[in-house]
Every structure is written in C-alpha cells, then in structure tokens.
Amino acid sequence: MCHGHSGEISPEKHLVPGLKKWSELGYHYQVAPDGAKPHFFVAAETLIMQSIPDAALASESDSTLAAQQAKPGALLDYVSSSRLPTPWAVFQIHVFVERSNQKEHVLLTLGDVANGEPVLARVHSECLTGDALFSLRCDCGPQLQLALERIAKEGRGALMYLRQEGRGIGLVNKIRAYNLQDQGADTVEANEKLGFPADMRRYDICKDMLGHAGIQRLRLMTNNPRKVKTLQELGIEVVERVPHQIEGNPFNESYLNTKRLRLGHWLETDE
C-alpha cells in the first residue's frame, strides 16, 4: 500500500506555537482521550495533533462577508471561512458556492499567501472513493494527503478542492466506469463507452478562489500538463511545476499507466 511519502518527516515542524500537544499518531488510528477514534487517515509516519482552544477560533464579521460576496462576473460566491485543524497543520478553510449549479467548492490556505511571492498550490478534484474511502484504484487520496503535508512543511500554501467527481462525470457514472474497467476497459475507454470525454474537468473556477485569497503566482503540484496549460490560459501565472507522483500499487498500476500513455501525464516508470 502506498503511503504517499517516503522521506523523513519532522513532526515538530507541524506544531503551531502556543498550542498544547495532544497525541502522537502513527499509521493506525489513535484512540482519543474519550475513547473515540479521530475521523482522519494519517499518511505520515509520525505526526503530532494539537488541541485548539476555543479562543483561537475566529469567524469573519457579517460586514466582511457581505463585501466579498456577489462580485459581478464571478463564477463563485464566497460564503465563509474558519480554521481547520488537520494532522499536518491548522489550515484556513474558505467555502464557495458555484452560481450556475450550486456546487460547493473549498479553498484551504496556510500562512501569508497574499504577499506576492509564488505559492505552493494544488488543484485537487473530488474523489469520494479515494479521498474518503481510501480506494487503491487511483492515486487521488495519497495525492491529497501529500499535498497537505508538503504545504504544512513549507508553512505556506493553498489547496483548491473542486467538486467534480470522476474527472467530471459524477459519482454514479464513475462507478459505472469502474464496472467497465473490471471487465477490461481502461479508464479512458470506460468514459468513452459511457458517452463521455476522457476528462471533463474545468478549472475556470480556480480564478475566483485565487483572487479571493490574493494569490497571484503558483508553484503548482501536478503531473497533468493539461492542468498547467489551462490555468495559464486563464491568466493564472504558474511559475513552477512541482512533480507530485505517488508510488503505485497492484490495484492502480494499469490506471497510472493509462494516465501516462493516453492522457499525457508526466509520470516516471521503473522501466
């Protein structure tokens, strides 16, 4: 099973000054003081969670929210923000609603991302099976965790979480595509057999998210050339492409090979 990272991790780098150390975590769930299991999957070998006092949590005023909502010409409406403690760092989470279909999208930020310097960033499309159910059929879950880990180690960065499941075809059709893959189709062929293009994802909504956060330039964690090209065509400056490859496993070997050969992803092989 791929854990998404092979290097040494210094847990002290993930601590927020002034907050109390709560527990050390390994690859397995750690029983909390009240006997309940924390609801997250830990990808790194040793991480430190912290308890966050209520006083450290802040909410935006209604006047600030009103000023940021309903911008003319925008694809998204900004709704609210809060702190989001994770095993890697305490991020700021910002939620947006897409005007055309009411889908909810999320931006996570860490540190000062509006100072004009290039921001380590990841554009991640929703994958319920990989992100939440730990499926080994794809590399989505480990990629998401690795991105958050890298941003935490950097102390500054952004992750855009876009609600476009199954490369844009939705969860039901993704499972139908999985059924076709079980019968021998690759991930591209399965989409096409269902009447969909290989990749229906769109990235124009990223511009509103980045503008809201004051992010001007990206160091983009991706293996997807189409993602880099599309963002640049939207006027988003990508100053560096940071490779974001995850070690494969027996269940996703064919999937990763298809991404490399048919979708043009920059993926190294052992051959």
User: Mind telling me the catalytic residues?
Assistant: 199, 201
- From CA 149, how far away is CA 266, in angstroms rounded? 21
> In 3D, which of 162, 172, 234 has the Cα closest to residue 201?
162
Tokens of 247: 């070690």
With residue 83 as reference, give the H or E element that holds it.
strand 76-85
Answer whether 215's CB lies under 8 Å from 113's CB: yes
> In 3D, which of 208, 212, 229, 216 has the Cα closest to residue 162?
208
Answer whether 266's CB lies under 8 Å from 243's CB: yes
